Structure 1
Amino acid sequence: MRGHANDTIRNGCINNRVWKGGKTLAPYLAKKGWQVTVVEQSSAMYGGTCINIGCIPTKSLIHSAEMIAARGISEFAEKARAYEEAWNFKEELVSSLRSKHQTNLSNTSDIQLINGQASFLSPHEVLVKGEGEESITIKAIQIFINTGAVPVMPTVEGGSSRIYSSTTLLGLNKLPRRLVIVGSGFIGLECASMYANFGTEVTVIERGATILKQEDEDIRESIKSVLEPRGIRFLVSSRFGSN
Structure 2
Amino acid sequence: MADTSFDLIVIGGGPGGYVAAIRASQLGMKTAVVEREHLGGICLNWGCIPTKALLRSSEINHLLHNLGEFGFSADNIRFDLDKVVKRSRAVAKQLASGVGHLLKKNKVAVFDGNAALDGVEGSLRRVKVSKDGSPDTALTAKNVILATGARARTIPGLEPDGEFIWSYREAMVPKSMPKRLLVVGSGAIGIEFASFYRNMGAEVTVIEVADRILPVEDEEIGAFARKAFEKQGMRILTGAKLGTLVKENGTVTVPVEAGGKSETFIVDRVISAVGIVGNVEGLGLEGTRVVVEKTHVTIDPFCATGEPNVYAIGDLAGAPWLAHKASHEGVVCVEKLAGKDVHPIDWSNIPGCTYSRPQIASVGLTEARAKAAGHEIRVGRFPFVGNGKAIAMGEPEGMVKVVFDRASGELLGAHLVGAEVTEMIQGYVIARTLETTEQELMHSVFPHPTVSETMHEAVLDAYDQVIHF
TM-score (norm 2): 0.46
User: Could you say what secondary structure the match of 1:211 adopts?
Assistant: coil
Q: 1:31 to 1:223 in 2, by over 3 A?
A: closer
Write the mapping of 1:22-101 to structure 2, written as runs, cut at 5 A.
22-42=17-37, 44=38, 46-72=39-65, 81-101=79-99
Counterpart-to-counterpart distance in 1, 2:233 and 2:187: 18
Following superposition, the deviation at residue 216 of structure 1 comes to 3.8
Alignment identity in percent?
A: 29
Match of 2:111 in 1: 114
Following superposition, the deviation at residue 158 of structure 1 comes to 8.2
Match of 2:127 in 1: 126
Q: Deviations over 1:21-55 (max 9, x none)?
A: 2212212222333221110010x3x1234322232
User: Could you say what secondary structure the match of 2:168 adopts?
Assistant: coil
Match of 2:308 in 1: none
Counterpart-to-counterpart distance in 2, 1:159 and 1:146: 25
Following superposition, the deviation at residue 100 of structure 1 comes to 1.0
Q: Deviations over 1:73-95 (max 9, x none)?
A: 9xxxx75x433222111111110
- Amino acid aligned to 1:38: V
**Is the 8 Å Cα contact of residues 158 and 165 (structure 2) preserved in structure 1?**
no
The reply on whether 1:12 has 2:7 as its aligned counterpart is yes
Q: Deviations over 1:193-214 (max 9, x none)?
A: 1110011111111123322333
Following superposition, the deviation at residue 218 of structure 1 comes to 2.9
Q: 1:129 to 1:211 in 2, by over 3 A?
A: same
**Please, which moves more after superposition, 180-189 or 192-201?**
180-189
List runs of 5+ in structure 2 lacking aligned partners. Answer: 67-76, 247-469
Counterpart-to-counterpart distance in 2, 1:184 and 1:205: 7
Q: Deviations over 1:130-189 (max 9, x none)?
A: 123232111111111111111211111786333222344223343222221111223211
Match of 2:142 in 1: 141
The reply on whether 1:201 has 2:199 as its aligned counterpart is no
Q: 1:128 to 1:207 in 2, by over 3 A?
A: same
Counterpart-to-counterpart distance in 2, 1:102 and 1:193: 32
Q: 1:217 to 1:33 in 2, by over 3 A?
A: closer
**Is the 8 Å Cα contact of residues 180 and 205 (structure 1) preserved in structure 2?**
yes
Counterpart-to-counterpart distance in 2, 1:11 and 1:231: 56
- Quick one: higher RCO (CA 8 Å, sep 6+), 1 or 2? 1
- Amino acid aligned to 1:52: N
- Amino acid aligned to 1:69: H
Q: 1:174 to 1:27 in 2, by over 3 A?
A: same
**Is the 8 Å Cα contact of residues 182 and 206 (structure 2) preserved in structure 1?**
yes
- Amino acid aligned to 1:130: K
The reply on whether 1:237 has 2:239 as its aligned counterpart is yes
**Please, which moves more after superposition, 196-205 or 163-172?**
163-172
Structure holding more strand per residue: 2
User: Could you say what secondary structure the match of 1:12 adopts?
Assistant: strand
Counterpart-to-counterpart distance in 1, 2:234 and 2:158: 26
Match of 2:277 in 1: none
**Is the 8 Å Cα contact of residues 207 and 236 (structure 2) preserved in structure 1?**
yes
List runs of 5+ in structure 1 lacking aligned partners. Answer: none
Counterpart-to-counterpart distance in 2, 1:231 and 1:121: 54
Q: 1:101 to 1:234 in 2, by over 3 A?
A: same
**Is the 8 Å Cα contact of residues 52 and 98 (structure 1) preserved in structure 2?**
yes
Counterpart-to-counterpart distance in 2, 1:158 and 1:17: 26
User: Could you say what secondary structure the match of 1:20 adopts?
Assistant: coil
Counterpart-to-counterpart distance in 2, 1:158 and 1:143: 34
Q: 1:160 to 1:55 in 2, by over 3 A?
A: closer
**Is the 8 Å Cα contact of residues 84 and 175 (structure 1) preserved in structure 2?**
no
- Amino acid aligned to 2:105: N
Counterpart-to-counterpart distance in 2, 1:38 and 1:159: 31
Q: 1:220 to 1:137 in 2, by over 3 A?
A: same
Match of 2:450 in 1: none
**Please, which moves more after superposition, 214-223 or 60-69?**
214-223
User: Could you say what secondary structure the match of 1:237 adopts?
Assistant: coil
Q: 1:115 to 1:28 in 2, by over 3 A?
A: same
Q: 1:116 to 1:231 in 2, by over 3 A?
A: same
- Amino acid aligned to 1:89: R
Match of 2:174 in 1: 172
